[in-house]
Amino acid sequence: MTMNLAKKILAAHLVSGDMVKGAEIGIRIDQTLTQDATGTMSYLQFEAMGIPRVRTKLSVSYVDHNTLQTGFENADDHAFLQSIAAKYGIYFSRPGNGICHQVHLERFAVPGQTLLGSDSHTPTAGGMGMLAIGAGGLDVAVAMGGGPFYLNMPSVLNVRLRGRLKPWVSSKDIILEILRRLSVKGGVGWILEFSGEGVQSLTVPERATITNMGAELGATTSVFPSDELTREFLKAQGREGDWVPLAADPGADYDEVIEIDLDSLEPLAAMPHSPDNIALVKELAGTPIDQVAIGSCTNSSYIDLMRVARILKGHVVHPRVSLVVSPGSKQVLTMLASNGALADILASGARVLEPSCGPCIGMGQAPRSGGVSLRTFNRNFEGRSGTPNAKVYLVSPEVAAAGAIRGVITDPRELGDYPVISMPETFMADDSMIIPPASDPEGVEIVRGPNIKPLPLREPLSEDVTGKVLLRVGDNITTDHIMPAGAKILPLRSNIPAISEYVFSRVDPDFAKRARESGGGFVVGGHNYGQGSSREHAALAPMYLGVKAVLAKSFARIHRANLINFGILPLTFLDEADYDWISQGDQLEIQGVRRALENGEETLTVTDITASRSFLVKHGLTERQVGVMLAGGLLNYTRGGINVPV
Ligand code: MIC
Ligand code: SF4
């Protein structure tokens, strides 16, 4: 039987279920990664499982998000993460070593293996031919314990790349074009698999820009074949031994195919406030810019920043613009420093940050009020930059650099000759900032600062679920709406009671108070509820506030899984028109939920007591998920020893 590449990797890792579209399968996870903003919870959960050492081939804990230390909290979390890593057999990438996805691609990603990461941009490693999936921290904890990762068997979309990109058009424009065609919810339930002769002109980091931002489609993951360019990249990283050739079988089937003619692409931008709000850069030309931010796990590779350095060389940043550059890794920064490119970047007036997420997650560098910010990042959700009324455009490094010089959005093709950057034959690989696990784990004491609070747990599911509609929101609500990030709130990631005060704070500042006073209740949403990040705090903190169920038209994959993991019912309307009848403050009741789930019933009746009407919702839970829900969440369920083999 011929198989596409995604199916081959899934089949090689299958531990349960049949690979039938939509059915639940369990897969073995070879590698895991965590970052500091999701990692503390993930490791608290791992600790609670009582397993002495990780059972993966490789697990890495990165510190890259919470690097602004405005108080003791982040530094305390770093110390906790370092001690946990030493004790449980995990490699620890120290703050300053770089953004998890960039470093993982450079130093650890292996074609054909599976990677589960507590960050939605884990698919970055798909640029290397890995099957790399983002998940909540609890799912990653289970995988570290040797348990399978469960997902619904995705459909596979073949993206055929034809031709070659023209000068000044880059791989960022390819993924922006896909977002234009498919939208931020078009990838839910899909894996994107790239093929075609166009692949051969894209280096591994350029491929990784595309798989990285596949997350913005809501896709399960995205994957490229592993070919000669993959081998060259690995060789240049001193890891040729990790290379294996991988591709779909000739004539393999796909559920759908789209073609992209690379020659016809032009520089694109995602306009405020959604990654799928795409326009041609030339149509936006002339728009005044206040800030340009270059970096993030999407566009901070050596190739990206070398190109930026060449474009900036000999220019000074426009007086209106603040240019900030954050290299993706210590490797990238070191190479720029040693070949002189960093001097060109500095000479332009750029403000260079340490290799970390930085402005991408609102950790500093918030734009001025109402300011226009051009960013090479992957998300431009309203308020994510830290300035509620800023207007963020997502662009390629070429468009960003051109804008920084001119002070207005500029079609980079106006700049003349395109700087051709070739891949280095050898990268400056130095793993001295990656600390291996301790050789005497018993001797390691876990460091726990006062900001690290114990994990809250939910009670087993009650027979009837009742409460008020605490909030009713529209389509495409992001996890940044539900549980905002930024320099002020991120340091509370290991303190659920404190962070829960900020749930929905940008949408409705009274939400937390109302939820507490009402003893919890329901949230009602539109399509693609919970799109964006993998942060399980967007489920855990509402759970802490007593949210019992979310009724929505549809859910984003990772957030739905997180809701289930923390015992919140994700329910979808059988008839979407029922959404229109519900108002904030309505008293809802679902009787006999436990019994219905135990009896295998697929729909539940919701009574809106205030509106005097009833309607049907479906839960779509698999048998395993029903078990999780009845137990009051995955941690209660795994404590029964059901999920993780001991
Ligand atoms: C993001 O880009 O939104 C984050 C911050 O990396 C999140 C993880 C988090 O919230 O900690 C993600 O993408 O999953
Ligand atoms: Fe970090 Fe931004 Fe990438 Fe998230 S998207 S991992 S915040 S750089």
Task: Decide: helix, strand or coil at residue 222.
Answer: strand
Task: Report, as ranges of residue numbers, the positions in the chain whose pLDDT lies below 70.
Answer: 640-646
Q: Tell me the domains of the chain and their CATH numbers.
A: 268-415 (3.30.499.10), 465-639 (3.20.19.10)
pLDDT digits (tens, 9 = 90+) for 256-276: 999 999 999 999 999 999 999
DSSP 3-state assignment of 338?
helix
57: helix, coil or strand?
coil
- 510 is an active site residue: no
Which ligand has the shortest distance to the CA of 484?
1
For residues 515 and 468, give the distance between their C-alpha atoms in angstroms, rounded to a whole number: 9
Residue tagged active-site, from 77, 119, 276, 290? 119
Q: Is the CB of 619 under 6 A from ligand 2?
A: no
Of all protein residues, the one whose alpha carbon is nearest to atom 6 of ligand 1 is 119
Nearest CA to ligand 1 atom 12: 533
The one catalytic residue in 28, 78, 535, 557 is: 535
Ligand 2 contacts CB of residue 99 (under 6 A): yes
Give me the catalytic one of 226, 300, 356, 533: 533
Instruction: Specify whether 77 is catalytic.
Output: no
Q: Whose CA is nearest to atom 1 of ligand 1?
A: 533
531 lines ligand 1 (CB under 6 A): no
Give the closest residue (by CA) to ligand 2 atom 2: 360
Instruction: Identify the pLDDT of residue 638.
Output: 79
- Closest protein CA for atom 7 of ligand 1: 533
3-state SS, residue 265: coil
The answer to pTM > 0.95 is: yes
Report which ligand 2 atom has the smallest distance to the Cα of 37: 7
Ligand 1 pocket, 361 CB below 6 A? yes
Whether 594 is catalytic: no
Ligand closest to Cα of 480 equals 1
CA-based nearest residue to 489, from 457, 466, 512: 512
For the stretch 133-187, pLDDT in tens is 999 999 999 999 999 999 999 999 999 999 999 999 999 999 999 999 999 999 9
Residue with tokens 């994957």: 223
* Alpha carbon 351 to chain centroid, angstroms: 26
Residue 1: the pLDDT is 83
Q: DSSP state, 458?
A: P
Would you say the CB of residue 559 lies under 6 angstroms from ligand 1? no
Taking every pair of Cα atoms in the chain, the longest distance, rounded to a whole number of angstroms, is 71
Query: For residue 168, what is the DSSP state?
Result: T
Confirm whether 481 is a catalytic residue.
no
Whether 448 is catalytic is no
Residues 6+ apart with CB under 8 A from 96: 67, 330, 354, 355, 356, 433
**Using a 6 Å cutoff on CB, does residue 38 contact ligand 1?**
yes
- Give the ligand whose atoms come closest to the C-alpha of residue 532: 1
Using CA positions, which residue lies closest to atom 5 of ligand 1? 361
**461 backbone dihedrals φ, ψ, rounded to 5°:** -60, 135
Cβ of 199 below 6 Å from ligand 2: no
CA 616, CA 573: separation in Å to the nearest integer? 6
Which atom of ligand 1 approaches the CA of 65 most closely?
5
533 within ligand 1 shell (Cβ under 6 A): yes
Residues 6+ apart with CB under 8 A from 446: 47, 80, 83, 84, 87
Which amino acid does the sequence have at 487?
Answer: A
Instruction: Let me know if 379 is a catalytic residue.
Output: yes
**In a mutational test of the pocket of ligand 1, which residue from 68, 102, 121, 377 has the highest number of ligand atoms less than 8 Å from its CB?**
121
Burial class (CB in 10 A: 0-12, 13-18, 19+), 444: middle
CA of 585 to the centre of ligand 2 (A): 36
- Is residue 378 within 6 Å of ligand 2 at its C-beta? yes
Q: Which atom, in ligand 2's list, is nearest to the CA of 361? A: 7
Burial 161-194, CB ≥16 within 10 A → b, else e: beeebbebbbbbbbbbbbbeebbbbbbbbbbbbb
Dihedral, 555, 600, 139, 99 alpha carbons, nearest 10: -10
Q: Would the CB of 534 count as within 6 Å of ligand 1? A: yes
Catalytic residue selected from 101, 379, 537, 560: 379
- 120 CB near ligand 1 (under 6 Å): yes
Distance CA 440, CA 15 (A): 32
Give nearest CA residue, ligand 2 atom 7.
361
Rg of the chain (C-alpha set): 24
